[in-house]
């Protein structure tokens, strides 16, 4: 009997998160490949990535033990890795046990932050990080812009790019024919934390409304300041945004939808003209909302941050804005909607980019190829140097 692939990652809970959605979709896509799944998100509901929590530590121990149970009978391990200290220690336990049984490990980074995590550790801890990654066969990143996150890995570790794919249940049921209408509807679709840039987008909305009828639909859950260990709660950030909306006198142009799904999500995507995500989020990777927008033939305004530049084609499917710069956001929106003809060109190119690069069938095929290649290549000893 063919040995199993062990897939380790977070399955979805109450809140929609890109990593868990991608992992559950991969699990579904590889069901016929003789797999076993270890859920790394069965106990907790993360609000503050990177912080130590007792439940998180207990969960990590159980994840390591469960993985260790399956590893002797496996042929390879696929692991979604973390870029925080405590998450790394959990991953390190899994990698080292896999190494003992000479099982190849495919480590998948679903975001950024790994390079920053590495350089801010002590000299001794950095050596340990390199040692752990010397035991990893292949590292998967979401785009060329994220290769640099793993400059520290030894040459024996292969780094490869596999773009995200849009889950089939997120695809629109039919191609959208986009036309400019009044009011111009902007869409923000992401969890809400300060570094996702929503406050800047609200400022940009006020600028845009000086010369046009513009409205903003905001979809997502408030997470607070997760970039800085939760120093600001979701409720506090919501209150700050509400106050600023009143100060800018744009209350009549802003609609908070919360987390959307099903018919409500279809409606906001169907009514929107431009998706805007001016993010500089530390753990950003390749936002599913940007891929989803292009599937809906929606042009995008976003920053050239992490792997976003690999998700869009600036000047064709999207316009680049500067982070923390409301004026830049407003100017980027103006470029896309300068005329009905220009807007139609962006919309058509966005849909074409999705069809050519980000369909789930393509993603699963690429992921299967990378994992199978790692599983069939014998492990070789690797040295770690200072």
Which ranges constitute the DSSP H helices of the chain? 18-29, 54-70, 85-100, 114-119, 123-134, 198-208, 234-247, 262-271, 288-295, 326-336, 340-357, 360-376
Could you tell me which residues come within 8 angstroms of residue 333 by beta carbon, excluding any fewer than 6 positions away? 184, 186, 204, 208, 274, 276, 301, 319
- The structure's pTM equals 0.91
Q: What is the CATH number of domain 4-165+360-376?
A: 3.40.50.2000
pLDDT at 151: 94
Give the start-to-end residue ranges of the domains of the chain.
Answer: 4-165+360-376, 168-357
If you classify domain 168-357 with CATH, what class do you get? alpha beta
Distances (CA, A) of 189 to 101, 121, 220, 304: 43, 33, 6, 17
Torsion of CA 169, 292, 110, 240, to 10 degrees: -110
Q: What is the mean pLDDT of residues 73-101?
A: 95
Nearest to 197 by CA among 115, 252, 272, 275: 275
Separation CA 311–CA 289 (nearest Å): 11
Residue 46 banded pLDDT, cuts 50, 70, 90: very low
* Predicted confidence (pLDDT) at residue 49 exceeds the cutoff of 70: no
| Angle at 227 (CA atoms; ends 223, 228), nearest 5 degrees | 105
Q: In this structure, are residues 184 and 214 in contact, taking their beta carbons and an 8 Å threshold?
A: yes
For all residues of the chain together, what is the average pLDDT?
92
Per residue in 280-338, pLDDT tens? 999 999 999 999 999 999 999 999 999 999 999 999 999 999 999 999 999 999 999 99
Nearest to 256 by CA among 308, 206, 221, 294: 221
pLDDT at 333: 98
Quick check: do 4-165+360-376 and 168-357 share a fold?
A: yes
Which tokens is 37 given? Answer: 């799944």
Separation CA 327–CA 334 (nearest Å): 11
Separation CA 233–CA 224 (nearest Å): 4
Strands 214-219 and 184-189: parallel
Torsion of CA 28, 34, 38, 41, to 10 degrees: 0
* Predicted confidence (pLDDT) at residue 201 exceeds the cutoff of 70: yes
Nearest to 112 by CA among 306, 298, 319: 306
Strands 158-161 and 214-219: unpaired
Q: What is the mean pLDDT of residues 203-214?
A: 97
Q: What is the mean pLDDT of residues 17-44?
A: 90
pLDDT at 369: 96
pLDDT at 47: 47
Q: How would you list the strands of the sheet with 158-161, edge to edge?
A: 35-39, 4-9, 74-81, 105-109, 138-141, 158-161
pLDDT at 247: 98
């Amino acid at each position: 009997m063919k040995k199993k692939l062990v897939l380790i990652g977070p399955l979805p809970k109450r809140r929609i998160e890109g990593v868990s959605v991608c992992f559950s979709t991969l699990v579904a896509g590889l069901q016929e490949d003789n797999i076993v799944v270890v859920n790394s998100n069965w106990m907790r509901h993360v609000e503050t990535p990177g912080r130590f929590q007792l439940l998180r530590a207990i969960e990590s121990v159980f994840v390591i033990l469960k993985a260790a149970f399956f590893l002797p009978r496996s042929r390879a391990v696929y692991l979604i890795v973390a870029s925080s200290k405590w998450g790394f220690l959990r991953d390190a336990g899994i990698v080292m046990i896999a190494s003992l049984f000479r099982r190849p490990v495919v480590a998948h980074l679903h975001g950024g932050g790994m390079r920053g995590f590495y350089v801010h550790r002590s000299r001794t801890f950095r050596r340990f990080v390199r040692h752990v990654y010397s035991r990893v066969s292949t590292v998967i990143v979401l785009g060329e812009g994220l290769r640099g996150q793993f400059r520290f890995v030894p040459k024996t570790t292969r780094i490869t790019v596999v773009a995200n794919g849009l889950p089939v249940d997120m695809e629109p049921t039919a191609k959208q024919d986009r036309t400019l209408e009044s009011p111009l509807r902007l869409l923000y679709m992401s969890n809400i934390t300060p570094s996702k840039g929503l406050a800047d987008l609200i400022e940009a909305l006020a600028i845009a409304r000086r010369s046009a009828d513009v409205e903003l639909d905001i979809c997502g859950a408030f997470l607070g300041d997760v970039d800085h260990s939760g120093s600001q709660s979701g409720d506090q950030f919501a209150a700050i945004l509400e106050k600023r909306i009143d100060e800018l006198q744009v209350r009549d142009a802003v609609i908070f939808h919360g987390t959307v799904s099903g018919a409500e999500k279809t409606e906001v995507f169907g009514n929107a003209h431009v998706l805007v995500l001016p993010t500089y989020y530390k753990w950003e990777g390749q936002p599913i909302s940007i891929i989803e927008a292009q599937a809906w033939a929606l042009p995008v305004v976003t920053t050239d941050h992490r792997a976003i530049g690999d998700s869009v084609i600036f000047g064709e499917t999207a316009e680049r804005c500067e982070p923390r710069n409301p004026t830049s956001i407003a100017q980027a929106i103006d470029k896309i909607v300068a005329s009905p003809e220009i807007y139609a060109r962006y919309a058509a190119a966005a849909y074409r980019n999705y069809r050519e690069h980000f369909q789930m069938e393509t993603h699963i095929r690429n992921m299967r190829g990378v994992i199978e290649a790692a599983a069939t290549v014998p492990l070789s000893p690797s040295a770690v140097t200072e």
